[in-house]
């Protein structure tokens, strides 16, 4: 016998009323978004959207649930490009042999994203669209030189990761658009990576974090990409990395890169940390990263958090 839910429970931590549409295809989702624009919200894993709705930080009139669209899920490698569907869950990234082989940085990063029960629902598309500056995956997209593939009423747009993140919870997406996939160049076999973040507890949003990818030849960096997160209103691909490429890294060279990094940072103040503390921790991460990737423990002396 069907049961009818009568309505109100304790109101203060509950989402306000909204209409719900289960999208049947990408085209159907786009139609709904075109018709409802800013009044609608896309629901993927719901692990950022639903907390915000429960806290009444947002109250969309329509929730467009795309979570069942199998066409947006999965990881494919083809012609040197790794394509990850927007609905690929954090847990899928963690378990994917393709990710482990071609983007191991991402695998390491995901172990720091929230907790198992949240990773079972949260998706890469949701995480990038959410654009929390303390989030791991957006920084990885900068480091790995990702292209973000977006569909809207006028077709497809391909946006370079460094053009996608526009501020706290802000991206290049319009309310009518759907993030459908990300594309990553397959990294060369000889490439190495480093991932570390400071957080109060495992799974918490980072206080400061670094996702790095490098090519090391004869004890020097032939290439170095440093994606910092929680150091400003959006993830940062540090230009100061350039100071460490094609040179013999000495403590003096590292100190110079560290001071150049300091000039690039624009950390925010919140309950977790002051800007000064974030600057300090970012420099500690830089030192540890360089020391670890070059296998030079001597560079690490004095870099305590």
Judged by the rule CB under 6 A, the positions of this chain that interact with ligand FAD are 41-49, 51, 86, 113-114, 118, 122-123, 125-127, 129-130, 135-137, 173, 178-179, 203-205
44 interface partner picked from ligand FAD, another protein, none, CB below 5 to 8 A per type:
ligand FAD
Neighbours of 54 (CB within 10 A): 13
Q: From the list another protein, ligand FAD, none, which binds 290 (C-beta under 5 to 8 Å, kind-based)?
A: none
Within 25-54, which residues bind another protein (CB under 8 A)? Answer: 43, 46-47, 50-51, 54
Residue among 29, 30, 33, 63 that touches another protein (CB under 8 A): 63
Nearer to ligand FAD, 127 or 287 (CB): 127
The C-alpha R_g of the chain, in whole angstroms, comes to: 21
Dihedral sign, CA of 150, 229, 205, 13?
Answer: negative
x/- mask, another protein, residues 203-222, rule CB under 8 A, reads x-------------------
Both structure tokens of 132: 């929390």
- Residue from 105, 114, 159, 273 touching another protein (CB under 8 A): that is 114
Q: What are phi and psi of 8, to 5 degrees?
A: -55, 130
| Secondary structure of 6-68 in HEC code, one letter for each residue | CCCCCCCCCCCCCEEEECCCHHHHHHHHHHHHHHEEEECCCCCHHHHHHCCCCCCCEEEECCC
Q: Taking a C-beta distance cutoff of 8 angstroms, is the pair 300, 259 a contact?
A: no
* 70 near another protein (CB under 8 A): no
Choose among ligand FAD, another protein, none what residue 2 binds, the Cβ cut-off being 5 to 8 Å by kind. Answer: another protein
Q: How far is CA 265 from CA 156, 210, 226, 278, in A?
A: 33, 13, 13, 9
**Residue placing its CB nearer to ligand FAD in the complex, 203 or 242:** 203
- How near is the Cβ of 103 to ligand FAD at its closest, in Å? 16
């Amino acid at each position: 016998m069907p049961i009818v839910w009568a309505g109100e429970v304790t109101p203060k931590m509950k989402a306000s009323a909204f209409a719900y549409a289960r999208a049947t295809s990408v085209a159907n989702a786009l139609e709904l978004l075109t018709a409802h624009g800013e009044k609608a919200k896309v629901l993927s894993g719901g692990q950022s959207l639903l907390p915000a709705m429960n806290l009444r930080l947002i109250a969309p009139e329509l929730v467009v649930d795309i979570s069942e669209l199998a066409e947006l899920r999965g990881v494919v490698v083809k012609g040197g490009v790794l394509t990850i569907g927007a609905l690929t869950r954090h847990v899928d990234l963690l378990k994917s042999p393709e990710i482990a082989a071609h983007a191991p940085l991402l695998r390491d990063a995901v172990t720091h994203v929230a907790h198992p029960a949240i990773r079972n629902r949260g998706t890469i598309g949701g995480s990038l669209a959410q654009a929390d500056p303390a989030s791991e995956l957006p920084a990885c997209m900068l480091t790995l030189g990702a292209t973000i593939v977006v569909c809207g009423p006028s077709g497809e747009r391909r946006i370079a990761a460094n053009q996608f993140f526009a501020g706290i919870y802000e991206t290049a997406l319009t309310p009518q658009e759907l993030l459908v996939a990300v594309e990553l160049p397959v990294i060369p076999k000889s490439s190495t990576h480093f991932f570390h973040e400071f957080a109060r507890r495992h799974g918490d949003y980072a206080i400061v974090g670094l996702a790095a990818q490098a090519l090391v030849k004869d004890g020097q960096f032939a290439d170095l990409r440093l994606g910092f997160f929680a150091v400003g209103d959006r993830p940062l691909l540090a230009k100061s990395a350039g100071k460490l490429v094609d040179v013999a890294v000495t403590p003096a060279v590292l100190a110079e890169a560290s001071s150049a990094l300091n000039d690039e940072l624009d950390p925010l103040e919140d309950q977790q940390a002051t800007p000064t503390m974030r600057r300090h921790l970012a420099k500690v991460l830089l030192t540890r990263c360089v020391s670890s990737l070059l296998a030079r423990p001597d560079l690490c002396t004095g870099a305590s958090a």
